A and B are shown apart, each in its own frame.
Chain A
Amino acid sequence: SQTIHQWPATLVQPVGSPLSLECTVEGTSNPNLYWYRQAAGRGLQLLFYSVGIGQISSEVPQNLSASRPQDRQFILSSKKLLLSDSGFYLCAWSVVGAAYGYTFGSGTRLTVV
């Protein structure tokens, strides 16, 4: 069966510090991978998606970047965090086909102080 792992679960970082969040998927090959952010009162916002190794698409301009160094690994990064980067970050995967939905990880609560 397919599983998705996301870590860390919580993170408190000072403004201006770097960030690295990691997501890995097991039990599937060549998945589409996604990073979402959930901010209070704003719902879920798609940040990045990837259809393969090294292929990253960004949905919104921001202080963050994403990378996919391996087929089932997706990393969200920042060189210098801003207060506005605080939020709940969720990784997800999917495959092509109307019968298939999205599967989400357990999320990372990031607080920038």
Chain B
Amino acid sequence: KQEVTQIPAALSVPEGENLVLNCSFTDSAIYNLQWFRQDPGKGLTSLLLIQSSQREQTSGRLNASLDKSSGRSTLYIAASQPGDSATYLCAVRLGGGADGLTFGKGTHLIIQP
């Protein structure tokens, strides 16, 4: 059974710092990996998707990397801003069918102004 772990569970840093959020998964035979952002009481917003054949994806100040063989992904946030405060969730998709995503429990991020 696929398990996804996110470290750290919570992180509080001053504005302007560069951050790395970590995600690890037990079954390396993934189809793709997706990073989401969740604001309090809201749904999930997709940030980046990395296909199993890819190493990284970038969007603005966000960069996600994938090392399938070691079962790891990192989300890099450059020049953090208070608006980046949210919970960040990592999710893996095992197959190309209808199977759902397996989620980590998230990293709760607070950026101090």
Measured CB to CB, the residues of A under 8 A from B are 6, 32, 34, 36, 41-44, 46, 49-51, 57, 59, 88, 90, 92, 94, 96-107, 109
Q: List the 4 shortest-distance A-B pairs measured between CB atoms, nearest first.
A: A46-B100, A104-B44, A101-B49, A44-B103
Chain A residues with CB below 8 A from B53, complex form: 98
Secondary structure call for the A interface: strand
Chain A residues with CB below 8 A from B52, complex form: 98
Chain B residues with CB below 8 A from A57, complex form: 98
**How big is chain B's contact interface, by range?**
20 to 34
Known contacts A44-B103, A101-B32, A101-B34; is-contact A96 B96 (Cβ 8 Å) = yes
B99 near A49 (CB under 8 angstroms)?
yes
A106 near B100 (CB under 8 angstroms)?
no
Question: What is the bound-complex CA distance between A56 and B53, given in angstroms?
Answer: 31
Chain B residues with CB below 8 A from A49, complex form: 98-100
Chain A residues with CB below 8 A from B106, complex form: 43
Chain B residues with CB below 8 A from A99, complex form: 32, 49, 51
